[in-house]
Amino acid sequence: MATFKLGFVGAGFIARFQAQALLQVRNADIAGVVWPTQATTTAFSQYVQEHNLGQGKI
């Protein structure tokens, strides 16, 4: 089965809720994250990887 890959524009408060919701979706990965604040983007990318939600590339 093919994997549905998502890219997130935004890595703040709401992004974490959306990522948690994706835990319920089979074959869905967060492939990339973009946000102007590097620290926020890095933290969200690490969150994605720690929860096996995809690569979460910056």
Question: Which tens digits make up the pLDDT trace of 18-27?
Answer: 999 999 999 9
Q: Tokens standing for 23?
A: 């835990």
Determine the Cα–Cα distance for residues 4 and 30; give it in Å rounded to an integer.
9
The pLDDT of residue 9 is 94
Range list of H helices, the chain: 13-22, 38-50
Give pLDDT < 70 ranges for the chain: none
Determine the Cα–Cα distance for residues 37 and 51; give it in Å rounded to an integer.
22
Burial class (CB in 10 A: 0-12, 13-18, 19+), 17: exposed
**Domains along the chain with CATH numbers:** 4-50 (3.40.50.720)
The pLDDT of residue 1 is 79
| pTM (two decimals) | 0.87
